[in-house]
Amino acid sequence: MLSRTADHLYWMARYLERAETTARLLEVGARNALLPDPSGGYRNDWEAVLQAKGTLEEFKEKYGEPNQRNIETWLFFDAENPSSVLSCINAARENARVVRTALTAPVWDAINSAFQELKQLQRTERSKLMLSDLSEWTLRTCHLVRGCIQATQLRNDGYDFMGIGTSVERADNTARLIDVKYYVLLPSLSYVGSGLDQSQWALLLQSMTAQRAFNWTYTGEITAQKIAHLLILNRKFPRSLLSCVRWSCEHLDNIAENYQTGTRAQDVAHQLLDDLSRATVDDIFDEGLHEFLGRFMARNAGLAITVQDVYLHGMPA
């Protein structure tokens, strides 16, 4: 497969996953804004959402102080924000259009239909658009495209590059969603273990559609340790960091088998998987959840750069 084709498939998958996470973050912000603030002081959960996306400064330059209406516009409809749902869906569709012959008809139809529906949403009066409807539309669209990929794409190297794009992006996004809860949303460390703390952990589960998975897997009350285990180390949960890295390894192994040569990307991915497999929740909390997540995101970004260097910018090495 040409590097250019692989690059478009890889980024198509990444942009779809990024659009879904932006929608999930919007949902988290909206739900958290409904929680009472026991401190009685100033706490802006919408700023936390922007910090998680790394776009707080850009937002303030354009809109000023965060409020729900402006943040909805910035994160969903603003074409100047490269992480907005609009930008991500447009970019995914453009990447898909360039390599349309590498996609099955159902996959292309699903992406192109999403693009057309989004244009229709842009023309709709904003007062008629509920945030929950926008979030649900985004999640449903991304699920539909991925379902078509799973059901109809040949398991060749193109499928594996889409898989790597999805798993690398999902790992980064899961880490960011956990980080926004632990590091940004609590007013102070004195609230750790409080009712607010518990409510925010429960919200995090809801934002990742993980409540039922949690209830099936763990007994007793919701605790930070159990949720951290589910979202970081549980290999049965499809959005956990361990599951994402394991899938990256499997897709890279498939590509190496197809090309009959191993690569640095395989080594980087397997080293990350080995380290994550040996970690425990106690280790993670001893290090500090925020510090652990920051280190993981840096290593996951390193994997993405290596994949880009090895496969998408030249011949396999």
Asked if 159 and 147 sit in the same domain, the reply is no
Residues 105 and 209 occupy one common structural domain: no
Give the pLDDT of residue 316.
Answer: 45
> Quick one: 136 and 193 in the same domain?
no
User: How many CB atoms are located within 10 Å of the residue 104 CB?
Assistant: 14
137 and 182 in a single domain? The answer is: no
Taking only the tens place, the pLDDT of each residue in 259-268 is 888 899 999 9
Whole-angstrom CA distances from 46 to 86, 144, 165 are 19, 29, 28
- Based on the domain organization, do 163 and 101 belong to the same domain? no
| Digit-coded pLDDT (tens) for 226-236 | 999 999 999 99
Asked if residues 207 and 183 have their Cβ atoms less than 8 Å apart, the reply is no
Residue 83, SS3 per DSSP: coil
Cα–chain-centroid distance for residue 2? 27
Listed residue (163, 28, 27, 142) closest to 88, CA to CA: 142
**Do 67 and 206 have their domain in common?**
no
Number of structural domains the chain divides into: 2
The answer to whether residues 296 and 228 belong to one domain is: yes
- Alpha carbon distance 193, 118 (integer Å): 41
Residue 19's H or E segment, with its range, is helix 3-33
Residue-number span of the structural domain to which 304 is assigned: 155-316
Tens of pLDDT along the chain (317 residues)? 788 999 999 999 999 999 999 998 888 777 777 666 655 544 556 777 787 777 888 898 998 877 888 888 999 999 999 999 999 999 999 999 999 999 999 999 999 999 999 999 999 888 888 888 999 999 999 999 999 999 999 999 999 999 999 999 999 999 988 887 765 655 555 566 666 677 778 778 887 888 899 999 998 888 888 999 999 999 999 999 999 999 999 999 999 999 888 899 999 999 999 999 999 999 998 888 888 999 999 999 999 999 999 998 765 44
Same domain? 141 vs 177: no
Which of 153, 179, 207 is a domain's end point? Answer: 153
Do both 310 and 171 map to the same domain?
yes
Task: Looking at the structure, tell me whether residues 129 and 175 fall in a common domain.
Answer: no
Q: Say what the pLDDT of residue 115 is.
A: 95
What pTM was computed for the model? 0.90
Please check whether residues 294 and 184 belong to one and the same domain. yes
Contact 87, 73 (CB under 8 A): no
Helix or strand run (H / E) with residue 181: none
Q: Are 92 and 98 in contact (CB under 8 A)?
A: no
Confirm if 15 and 88 have CB atoms less than 8 A apart. yes
Task: Answer yes or no: do 310 and 224 share one domain.
Answer: yes
CA 70 to chain centre: 22
Domain end, chosen from 107, 130, 153, is at 153
Both tokens of 12, joined, read: 């198509």
What is the torsion angle, in degrees rounded to the nearest 10, for the CA atoms of residue 202, residue 208, residue 211 and residue 212? Answer: 180
Last residue of one domain, picked from the residues 153, 188, 222? 153
